[in-house]
Amino acid sequence: MAKRLCIKTYGCQMNVYDSGRMADLLAPLGYAAVDDAAEADLVILNTCHIREKAAEKVYSDVGRLRDLRLEREARGEGSITIAVAGCTAQAEGAEIMRRAPAVDLVVGPQAYHRLPELIARAHRTKGEALDTDFPVDSKFDGLPAQTRVEGSAAFLTIQEGCDKFCTFCVVPYTRGAEASRPAAAVLAEARHLASLGAREITLLGQNVNAYGAGEGWSLGRLVRALAEIPGLERIRYTTSHPRDMDDELIEAHAQVPALMPFLHLPVQSGADRILDAMNRRHTADDYRRVIERLRKARPDIALSSDFIVGFPGESEAEFQATVDLVAEIGFAQAYSFKYSPRPGTPASMMADCLPDDVKSERLARLQAAIAKGQRQFNEACVGRVLPVLFDRPGRHPGQAVGRSPYMQGVHADLPAELMGRIVDVAITSAHPNSLGGRLVGATEAAA
Ligand code: SAH
Ligand code: SF4
Ligand code: F3S
């Protein structure tokens, strides 16, 4: 009998990629994907541990699934297997099993290739299906190839784990040490994705620009090799660390047209004392210099960042340095978070925790500064013609939404046959989070 699988994905794009690979792994075993957990036989919660709120979500989700399961069983319609995957599974697998007995199996991010075996084991004996090892056999070798690409854009994980140990961050503990996939495997997967219709590939890694797979492979060299693949028109990569922006990668921004002029490069804070306490191992000026080099290589490059406000001991003046940096750099977009102490991290042991209302107030001020920069960036695009990769339907009939090179959402009326293609769009309007426009060139002639 066909089985139904529902995967709920939280956290970053690496989890999105992993969820896709888990679905591909389970499809040959008869699991068809469904959106509604109430209709599923197997539900996988692919969790995130980065902030407390994200990590706690798993317990409320499991509670809801347990109720659904009881209703299903009462109707005599079978049961629901509940699996917890992702970074919270890795960080507190045993605790999840204890606190949430409804959970049937727990699987860490490095053990997904063992899912079929774990599911079978969970069905036989409850309470033994926990796998949070970092196995030596790479999960990538044990996962089947992707079967489809949605909307002409695909993610490709090339690196996992992190050796940076920023004092606030759980990732080095949940994803383990930095490890890069061999270039040959990455190139083969990229060719496969292109053959499935991917025109854009985003290379993923917790620290993607630390990519290095021996024999002189760096991210810059990998980008050049990927740009040779027929059909692949756009390359992006995320997330990068300022310390790993080497010359080869910056040069690729100058020389490889397929490498999109957009970079998410988190800086976290504009104050050197805080950067030091965060163990970022760069100053605000180091960051400015990286941006300068990037802009020299690719003058139209758009920038994005992550910020943490309310790190232990952050003074008003130090916070203001962050706001000033935002105004100075001019980010096309950025994410900002209230500092959240995470178990086991050095920062969680630091004194001088700030009260939540101070964090909230700072977050609001920073977000206003970020929104202002984003509005200015979007407004400056009005009147330009931008190539847009259209990948999903818009809100109104006949309308589609796509991405500009700078990662802005762009909506325009689009003939159905151009879905999944890159089309020139004259930008006519700017909104806080998106742009509007109309098609130009070849398409007008065809109309
Ligand atoms: N590897 C990436 C991002 C990792 S997590 C990097 O080095 O930048 C994504 C973002 O979450 C981080 O950039 C940081 O801004 C935020 N973050 C991580 N830990 C956090 C914590 N304990 N509290 C609040 N925000 C956090
Ligand atoms: Fe976390 Fe820092 Fe590593 Fe990014 S570089 S994943 S913030 S430890
Ligand atoms: Fe969250 Fe893990 Fe990604 S903690 S941000 S899902 S690497």
User: What's the chain's length in residues?
Assistant: 447
Averaged pLDDT for residues 58-84: 94
pLDDT in tens, 253-292: 999 999 999 999 999 999 999 999 999 999 999 999 999 9
Question: 367: which residues sit within 8 A by CB, 6+ positions away?
Answer: 336
Q: Which CATH number fits domain 145-260: 3.30.450.20, 1.20.1260.10, 3.30.750.210, 3.40.50.450?
A: 3.30.750.210
Determine how β-strand 422-430 pairs with β-strand 262-264: unpaired
Q: Is 353 known as a binding-site position? A: no
pLDDT in tens, 7-42: 999 999 999 999 999 999 999 999 999 999 999 999
Averaged pLDDT for residues 1-9: 91
What's the CATH code, domain 385-443?
A: 2.40.50.140
Q: How far is the CA of 405 from the centre of ligand 2 (A)?
A: 26
pLDDT at 446 over 90: no
H helices present in 134-279, as ranges: 171-174, 183-195, 219-227, 247-255, 272-277
Ligand 1 atom nearest 335 alpha carbon: 15
> Which residue carries 């949940």 as its tokens?
174
Residue bearing the bigger pLDDT, 135 or 148: 148
Distance CA 105, CA 441 (A): 54
- Which residue's CA is the closest to the ligand 2 atom numbered 2? 166
Distance CA 308, CA 320 (A): 13
Q: pLDDT confidence of 321, banded at 50, 70, 90?
A: very high
Q: Output the average pLDDT for the chain.
A: 94
- Closest-lying ligand to the alpha carbon of 157? 3
Ligand 3 atom nearest 15 alpha carbon: 6
pLDDT in tens, 391-428: 999 999 999 999 999 999 999 999 999 999 999 999 99
Query: What pLDDT was estimated at residue 126?
Result: 59
Query: What pLDDT was estimated at residue 128?
Result: 60
pLDDT at 137 over 70: no
- Do the Cβ atoms of 104 and 83 come closer than 8 Å? yes
pLDDT in tens, 330-379: 999 999 999 999 999 999 999 999 999 999 999 999 999 999 999 999 99
Averaged pLDDT for residues 114-135: 81
pTM for the full model? 0.94
pLDDT at 246 over 50: yes
Ligand 2 neighbours (beta carbon < 6 A): 162, 164-166, 169, 171-172, 206-207, 241
Query: What pLDDT was estimated at residue 133?
Result: 79
Nearest to 118 by CA among 22, 13, 197: 22
Q: How far is the CA of 339 from the centre of ligand 1 (A)?
A: 9
Domain boundaries, the chain: 3-131, 145-260, 385-443
Architecture category of domain 3-131 in CATH: 3-Layer(aba) Sandwich (3.40)
Phi, psi of 163, rounded to the nearest 5 degrees: -105, 10
Ligand 2 atom nearest 306 alpha carbon: 7
Averaged pLDDT for residues 291-299: 98
Contacts from 148-151 at CB under 8 Å and sequence distance 24+?
A: 148/196, 149/193, 149/196, 149/197, 149/198, 150/391, 151/391, 151/392, 151/420
Phi, psi of 82, rounded to the nearest 5 degrees: -110, 120
Q: Where are the beta strands (DSSP E) in 244-325?
A: 262-264, 302-309
Nearest to 365 by CA among 443, 310, 447, 445: 310
Ligand 1 neighbours (beta carbon < 6 A): 50-51, 168-169, 171, 206-207, 239, 241, 266, 268, 306, 308, 337, 339-340, 342
**Which H or E run contains 107?**
strand 105-107
